[in-house]
Structure 1
Amino acid sequence: MSTIAATEFLPLVATGAATRDFMVVSLHDVAPSNQQVANTIVSELARHGVSVCSLLVVPDYHHQGLSTRNQEFVSWLRALEADGHEIVIHGYFHERPRRAKESLHDKFLTRFYTEQEGEFYDLGYDEALSRITRARDEFCASGLKSRGFVAPAWLLSKEAERAARDAGMEYTTRLHKVCDLRAGDEFAARSIVYSVRRNWRREISRICNATLFRYLEGRPLLRISIHPPDYSHPTVWRQVTAMIEKAIGSRTATTYQDWIAQQRLRRGM
């Protein structure tokens, strides 16, 4: 990809920020059912210096109905996108029915690590391609420009990743890395994320993330992944905002699509 093509592909982050490290704050599981709290989170992030973030939007969250049929929700997303936020396709249904004869490893990942939401964990190519292209087309018809795909819980089969690439997605992310699907590059970048379903999960998350944040402070890309329920737990939310306030002094808040664009330009692509 030429430099001209790269700038056409995505808007470049401010040149003055090129010498700084970056932070991507992503808000996951965005759907009409949680629009109110999601909007509050976006406003709170702005108050703490994060002017843009990546919004991971579920096309039909838990089969509750197409997100794009809710005009108030779509208008809200379009306004955010116009302000520089990014709209990312996040699965399709965001749920995975239990399978017969699952291995212990499968059960751990799909029932304990995530609560039956690993939709793309073992999805075959054809079905993955169908769901991703359907989401892409629905978002496009609603005036939303989605260039990235992130699987629920970052559980993405090899076949589903190939489907995302063939569907025209420019990138995906996993728990430990960001993947440029066009260039074939992978960037090590562990995300900070919380599990808040149980008291013990919240406490372990807070302890582990405090250590993880210190470990990641020297890395060029800091990723903080937020889910709407995080906001309802004061101790979790205080830690999230404290990390953001500490990081924003030396980092530029950006989106995944803009960060990928800059990496391509740095490589002369």
Structure 2
Amino acid sequence: MADSLNRPAVLLTLHDVAPSTWADYRPFVETVDALGNVPMTWLVVPDFHRRDALDAHPDFRRLLSIRLARGDELALHGYFHDDQEPDPTTPRDWFMRRLYTHEGEFYRLSHNAALARLRTGIELFQRYDWPLHGFVAPAWLMSEGTRQALRQLPLRYTSDPQHLYRLPDFTPVDAPGLVWSARSAWRRGLSKMVSDQREHRWRHAPVIRLGLHPVDMRHGYSRDYWLNTLLRLLASGRVPMTKVNWLAQQRGQRERAA
């Protein structure tokens, strides 16, 4: 037990989890399940793009409950995972909301709007008896109003591409992550090159996060990369964990050292 506490970790995270994306993820998840005990964090969108409400899909909800029973974690990933706020008015907003992504749902929300949407997501998790510890904003984009709202809610963490943040104080915890842009062949090639460099640079890091998206699963090149990277990190001795369990372990180690 003590040995596992001192070993580095790998956190496998599935983004954009919804009834319509399960077909993309299913073969990969089944392959990972066949490896043995590899827990995953599922970033669940309550109503993906406003046409994929979890309330209308009892079979998929049962699947998520089964994953919890296996030891996986469910986290709240926005609510709609789209950006329908008024059009951008500055060059920076135009870049962030039209070039970088069209799905930064929480990038421009006011405090009240963010609080209301987060509470609706929390209520959905409560309705289905799903423990909820974390919130991840779509594209990791959050307004200051969203940050204020998160300080008022009973959640334990949020994240950006390179950190987890303990709530309510947004205490940063280094947690470097690999993520791909897989929508075209040249993006996949560039993502592979950048990810290989980062994995080498982070080979001694206490944790590496793998951030998968449904589009990654639609191309053999990117799908194989994620499986091979997971296998390589496990073979190097990294312990697979969920986000919330890794954070709890870090807190416990810090308290024992104090």
Identify whether the pair has TM-score above 0.5, normalized to the shorter chain: yes
Question: Quick check: 2:68–2:74 contact (8 Å CA) kept in 1?
Answer: yes
| 1:49/1:247 CA distance change after superposition, 3 Å | farther
Match of 2:192 in 1: 206
Give 1:217 deviation, angstroms: 1.3
Q: What TM-score does the superposition give when structure 2 sets the normalisation length?
A: 0.92
Structure 2 SS opposite 1:186: strand
Distance 1:98 1:210 in 2: 36
Q: Secondary structure at the match of 1:140?
A: helix
TM-superposed CA distance for 1:36, in Å, is: 2.6
Structure 1 residue identity aligned to 2:27: T
Matched AA of 1:189: A
Provide the rounded CA distance (Å) in 2 between the counterparts of 1:50 and 1:201: 32
Q: State the alpha-carbon separation in 2 of the partners of residues 50 and 102 from structure 1.
A: 48
1:170 equivalent in structure 2: 156
Which residue of structure 2 lines up, in the alignment, with residue 46 of structure 1?
33
Deviation of 1:110 after TM superposition, in Å, equals 2.0
CA distance in 2 between counterparts of 1:199 and 1:98 reads 31
Q: Does residue 30 of structure 1 match 2:17?
A: yes
Among 116, 133, 147, the residue aligned to 2:119: 133
Q: Is the 8 A contact 1:49 1:248 kept in 2?
A: no
Aligned to 2:222: 236
Aligned length: 255
For residues 165 and 150 of structure 2, the distance between their equivalents in structure 1, rounded to whole angstroms, comes to 11
Q: Which amino acid aligns with 2:166?
A: D
Structure 1 counterpart of 2:65: 78
How far apart in 2 are the matches of 1:65 and 1:246? 35
Q: Is the 8 A contact 1:49 1:245 kept in 2?
A: no
Would you say the 8 A contact 1:48–1:244 is kept in 2? no
CA distance 1:231–1:51, shift in 2 (3 Å): same
RMSD: 1.8
Contact 1:94 1:117 in 2 (8 A): yes
Matched position secondary structure for 1:167: coil
Point out where structure 1 has 5 or more consecutive residues left out of the alignment: 1-13
The alpha carbon displacement at 1:182 in A equals 4.0
Structure with larger RCO (C-alpha < 8 A, sep 6+)? 1
- Equivalent position of 1:142 in the other structure: 128
Matching residue's letter, 1:172: T
> Could you tell me which amino acid in structure 2 is paired with residue 139 of structure 1?
F
- 2:106–2:143 Cα contact (<8 Å) kept: yes
Say whether residues 1:110 and 2:97 are aligned partners.
yes
Equivalent in the alignment of 1:221: 207
Between stretches 165-174 and 33-42, larger displacement belongs to: 33-42
Segment of structure 1 superposing worse, 43-52 or 121-130 = 43-52
Greater mean deviation of Cα atoms: 56-65 or 99-108: 99-108
Residue 124, structure 1, aligned to residue 115, structure 2: no
Structure 1 stretches of at least 4 aligned residues deviating more than 4 Å after TM superposition: none
